Amino acid sequence: MSESACTSIGLLLFPALTQLDLTGPYEVFARAPDTKVHLIWKNLDLVVSDRGMAIQPTTTFNACPALDVICIPGGPGQINLMEDEEVLSFIRTQSQQAKLVTSVCTGSLVLGAAGLLNGYKATTHWASLDQLALLGAEPINERVVRDRNRITGAGVTSGIDFALSVVSDIFGPDIAQNIQLHMEYDPAPPFNCGSPRTASEEQLKKAQQQAASFIEKRRQATLKAAARL
């Protein structure tokens, strides 16, 4: 572990992230024993998510300790991160000693832009899954994917599943199961349409059409990032 007996977990906090990509895993990690969770950004100013929630960073890139786990959430703001060398350099530096290098949703594209997924299996939100291949990763259509010390979660709500998997990896399944029980994480969604596998053809087509212009914008950012690798 880093610096002390306490496990150090860092979540990147950035403008226009999807807050549940961060707050879902945070809720799990903050319940783990002897664990310090850091919310990291360039400064300590409030960071506003894509839906308007303001979140307070707890540390900066310069002040952040060595991390045992680094996690990159996703969201629309991920596009700008893919060419932000200050962010990418921080992720690369922390990943050199971190035991686990992880992401949720399109945070995996940021890991890819940093050159950290080349030759690794990984996942991301279903609408952008194919873009991982542009960054040298092998896209896997699963909720949580592990390849060596890389653990990636799929879209948004998978962050809870992802974080429980990370806690199980570090502390063992008994502690992870205890956290799951305390959180009453017992999903029973009102509709069986939460992924392309279960949504109707009409629902999927509508969702794809709604996201098409933004997904193309993301693809162009991914192509630019791939060209820099």
6 given a catalytic annotation: no
The helix/strand/coil state of 227 is: helix
Residues near 109 by beta carbon (within 8 Å), at least 6 away in sequence: 74, 78, 82, 124, 128, 131, 132, 135, 218, 222, 225
Q: Which two tokens stand for residue 37?
A: 């969770």
What are the structure tokens assigned to 13, written together?
């906090």
Question: Taking a C-beta distance cutoff of 8 angstroms, is the pair 75, 105 a contact?
Answer: yes
Report the alpha-carbon distance of residue 165 to residue 171 in Å, rounded.
10
CB 1 within 8 A of CB 36: no
Query: Considering 6, 64, 71, 105, which one is annotated as catalytic?
Result: 105
Active-site annotation, residues: 105
